[in-house]
Structure 1
Amino acid sequence: MPPRRSTGTDPEAEHPRYAGQYLLEAELGSGGMGIVHLARSASGLRLAVKVVHAEFAQDPEFRGRFRQEVAAARRVSGAFTAPVVDADPEAEHPWMATLFIPGPTLAEHVKRNGALPPARLRHLMAGLAEALRDIHRAGVVHRDLKPSNVLLAGDGPKVIDFGISRPSDSELRTETGKLIGTPPFMAPEQFRRPRQVGPAADVFALGSVIVHAATGSGPFDSDSPYLVAYQVVHDEPDLTGVPEDIAGLVARCLAKEPEDRPTPDELMTALRSVSASYDTQAFIPEQRSRNGESARPGQVEREDAPSPSAASPWTDPAADDESPASGSGPVSAARSGALSGAGSGPAADDETHARGSGPARPGAPAPENGPAQHGTSGTPGTSGTATDPAAPRSARRRLLLAVAAAGLAVAVAVGTTVLLAGSDDPAPQKEDTGQRSASAFRPWEIELTARGAEATGQPHCTYTPHTLYCIRPGVLAAAVDATDGRVLWSRDDTARRGTDVAQEPVLSGGLLHVLSRGGKQLSALDPATGRTRWSRDVTRYEGRVAHAGGVVLLTGPDSRVTALDAATGKEKWQHTLPGQTMPSFSSYGDGVAYAVTAAGKETRVAAVDPQTGAMSWQRHLAGTLSVVGAHDGAVWFTSTATDSYTDAVVRYDVAHRTAERVALRFPLPGAQAAVAGDTVYLLADGGALVAVDTRTSKQLWRAETSVSWASAPVVAGNRLYLSAVDGRLLAVDTARGTLLGQTKARLGDRRGSLVNVLPAPVAAPGRVYGTAPDGSLFAVDARDPSAW
């Protein structure tokens, strides 16, 4: 029989017989984006294989999203998800194979057997909290947790389907793109700020899933997705029917503000003390047959499929033998085997000096960093009040849901812990033993901490020969010997504790520039001692602070640009730039400030002399462009489509006034870029890494790093470096795109949180420096990444 072909979502459509080397034996489920099949590996391992419908396989945007789904699923493969066995997102019909997991979805089970009893609800809630802890620890936000994406396996619930976009699932749309998720299980921020969704949205969805499991309906219920969206954002949840011992926890999960919700770790802790009768035994759910139906207790599945060893505690013995109904949500689809059928003021101290027996060793000032886009991100706690589960629905909607909860644990040091000085005095430094050669370098690791108070978050560092200058929430600045990791001096910053910083310090005008007080104050420090030389309140500029050519550029809300001498803090000039509205500035060590303003379907780019404010040239270029590099008379940009996907790279020749646009084969979500020579390297959300030669207008290679959230890439020689959200440092060969090595993960106790901005690694001759969420700063030998 010849292979059949998929031609769409029609039930009569034909299907392929193979996905890669796997024979597709039976259909397990179908949805708007693809079909899930039962298959076997060469060794007989049973697999669930998702094959994308042909119509979506031809859509470059969907292919990009499917690649991201594959990368995310690989990243989170573990005890609480379905391990990815194989995948080919570049095939004619893209597919992904995971281990087949017998068991119904939660949606199927509730539809068939009704609400879960209290003990099973607690077990389900604990299992989902554990799953989210591991998923978030890997740096992934699911964004579509719902009953049909929860498999009830024999050893506990499994979270499935890490698809990012489902055009047929979302009935609501924003002006710039599709809302991600299923309305009854989406958090308020997914409607209000869909591009700023974090792990707290998954906790909200967990609360909705538990309400569904306890009552058969969600906490917000309507036939209209638009009304559901309104209820989610404005109304209080309906918790009638939720057992009293967990209703308070569920209410906390459903708090309107992300910072008021508990973390998965906090949920697990709270559940342990909910009830003395908390049941942690493993249970055996009803098994799935080859055709996707549930096998009743006592039935034996055909061939070698496992049969239940005891009556399933998920199953109501009085239930009839009908096939399970499909899951809830905008699209109904039978699920199985872990894959969804649907695709997927003044400074604190002006005169402090370093103390100790040895002199401070200043670092040689380096050229200014790129544009300073500063911002902060809190380390949220949780707050709210529990609701009485026996209260009427109408009364319950009037109750507030904020419940106080503990914040994140103090980060645990990995390797040597170094205690920094208090907020006013730099720490004593050890005597310098003299110059150290590169050959004397040995890998090292320290933790940047603050004396007398907690320092949290990830360090951001700048390198000069011999010295690293770093900042971290709670640490205003610190100087670290780049050879051995000794702390030379440090300054605490009490105003920045508990927040994430968004940019590394900048060496400009011979001084070290750092933002403090949540980005509201710019301080210029002596790089040798850490003493404040000058400071300025920059509150009105709202983080629009940049450095170029020994000048600090501040863009005000009225579009006026103020230039300060980086060495003295004195004003050099102030005026608006013709044709530039609220410009953002970039600098790449050539003494030029590149001003960029988006203007409809074009971008205005100007080269500005930072000393005088004079523009040497200004051009109007087509598209929404962002500067990513400049050297040797050329400027490179990335072009972003209306859906925030990077769709092209642009090289602008200043002398010839020509722009070469290189379109990408597949647009990349959230791409960050690095330029080396004429090659632009693009790293997308989900881990896709692409190299584009702008001279030949060719894509050189594409690689999948499987890093769902990463820093901007950094290129040094023939290596590209990037940092993953779990603290890993990765090295990639720039010639072929192959992974050369990676370090261990360094999450520490910040496993339930994600940082606002991931700092890029710092490359230096013969070594690379990385930072991690556990607060560590480490150095590795760049010559042999395979030994990391």
Structure 2
Amino acid sequence: MIEPLPPGRARLIGPYQLLGLLGAGGMGEVYLARPAGGPDPLAGLVALKTVRPDLDLDDGFRIRFRREIDAAGAVRSPYTAALVDGDASGRLPWLATEYVPGPSLAEAVTRGGPMPEQVVREMGADLARALADMHAVRVLHRDLKPGNVLLGADGPKVIDFGIAQAFDATQLTRTGVVVGSPGYISPEHVNGSRSLVPASDVFCLGAVLAFAATGRGPFDDSDMAAVIFRIAQGEAELSGVPTQLRAVIEKCLSSDAEARPTPQQLVELLLPGERAGGAADGPFPWTEPIRGLLAAHATGARAVAEAEVPSAAAPPVPFHTPDRGGPAALAPTPVVPVYVPDDSRGNKGLWIGLAAAATAVCVVLGAMLLPGLFKGAGGGDDNAGGGARPTASAADSVRTEAGPAVVPDADAGRTGDFGAAAADVSKKPEGWKAWKAEIADGPVECVLAGASLVCGGPQRITVLDAANGRRKWQTPQGKAAAGPASVAAVLGTTVYAFEDGALVALGLGDGAEKWREPLPGGTRVADSVQSGGVLYYATRATGTDTGRILAHQLTGKHSRKWDKPWDDPAPEAELLLAEGRLVAVGDGVTILKSGDGTRLGGIGAGGITCRTPVLKGKELLCSGSNGLTVVDVTAPQNRRSIAAGVDIAYRPAVSRDGKVVVSSRTRVYAFGLADGKQYWATYDGGVGLDVAGRLAVAGDNAVVVGGYGINAFAMASTGEADDTGSRLPTEWPGEPGDPLDPASISFVGRGDAVFLSFGDGTVISVYAP
């Protein structure tokens, strides 16, 4: 139940007043708490989890803890304990979840005995619905066990997803150690955390239901090695489970993950017919012993809360409160050494010994973001990453509606490489904190210029403070017929932009206009790229195939350097520049000398499919439905292919050391540009569980911004990609479970901060994964 606070324990953590101790483990403590200074002692009760005060926390722990807060905040479900608040940056990181005044399933069965079959079915259906809601936003629980199910008056609630990994990943995660719950892990857990899939949670739920029906787990054994062996071999003990319920649980405990029911299918198996659609009206049909425990827990919480009178010296502390539901927190999962018998000649000992030695089993249970949590969402004002504009489909090239975009760090080849600065925490804007802003009613793209984020939107330019998202200045709204405003370059203290039918120069600090050069009437800018103080841009005459490519000196005495006709019939263009060659990609490829516009060669219209092109030195990378075609722009007839069989959906990214990262609709791959060797690929999770999206290279990681959040993968991986982190920011636009279109998101990385802009005019800045 609830114990008194330990002697000497501070009474305030964040904005919450601690009331009593709910539980404690090796690293963490969980308290009953309420908002400090609140007038109603029973209002806003939370379960607040924090770390022990005597621990020395490193930055890695805080990063993991912050990620888990994000994971918990992604889930909104009536069948989980909702995340209320959290802070990973304070002296003692903490998070607060909805307080459920009731026993855990473990306590209820231990004290009241096994549950009747119908109660197990009703409870199991709600737990399956909780898993469905988690999986919908790509969160795996990974540690579903009787202790992580709380019984509330209105039904069960799942807790501790997204939490245990942060607390336990810094413990004994080495060969021969399982961090988890013996008897409630799946065969995939034994093979390592990267083998986990949604069906792994279903396996754990099957074991939980067996416990509820019989009072013991299906793999219980006094020998931990025997438990692991029985799980891997499918030796479940279900003799006490009612016959019809047993058939359902057996499906969940199949050793073949693909043979297990999905959470939605499990609901139907447990409650066939109309009841499978949702919870019934009225109170949950708990047994009398459980209702007694519920009353006792509620009475205990009330007594503790009313005994702790709010202090006038402890006013409420202002704090951002996410609006997303998430897990409640309990004590950390136990650390259990795996015993490997010295005599491994027997089958059981041999199997366990090989598993420990060959696969270096280290199972860390706790919530995990599924591969593919990437999609940029709004924050601040606009953020755009430069020219990388993924296609809306793998078949047709679709450009962003925000117009041409500046490529950060003068990456005129649009390789998407943000360099080492993107992983150097000292490089982010001074005083930076995560923020969100909305600057337009429509798509925006931004470039990071020192302490400012400069954004182009539907009809104007907006500049934000990169540290906090506050608006510094904004140009007047232009004429709608002139098309979207776009940032062409930021050099020194000057912003160069296409706005209201003209190329304009504006002061970065205050937006004061320095000069304006109107474009010819009826002309629109198709694309632009800047390098060395010169802006190159392609124009189209409205309603015709007439086009031109121009070079404009921006620095010093600004003037037009050259102006050449462009005969490609494509209505849109991609301009790229490297090693003195300007490449214009439309229906064909035009190659010009950047110094004076002399034509150097090209490929005629229809001669090549070149979606989302990237220029790396003299090599032009053209995306297609069957991999990349690499064209030598010094001799365009020389072509080769890499990434065969990959229908590339988004602009590739190329690292400085020559690795190419490509994304299909479901997976991300890394190849060598020089030799075409495949280095790694993300896990193929199937439809709805894929990793795909807009790509960038930040430091040593490949960053994927996709429909459900942001993921990072180690560029040095081999085989299956090493997921170095995932984030679904609470500010992510859209409805929970609804993916965003990666083509509508732009990305900038600097330090451990990323800046994302979205198709609805939202800009956010959040921690990098």
TM-score, scaled to structure 2: 0.45
Higher relative contact order, structure no. (Cα contacts within 8 Å, ≥ 6 residues apart): 2
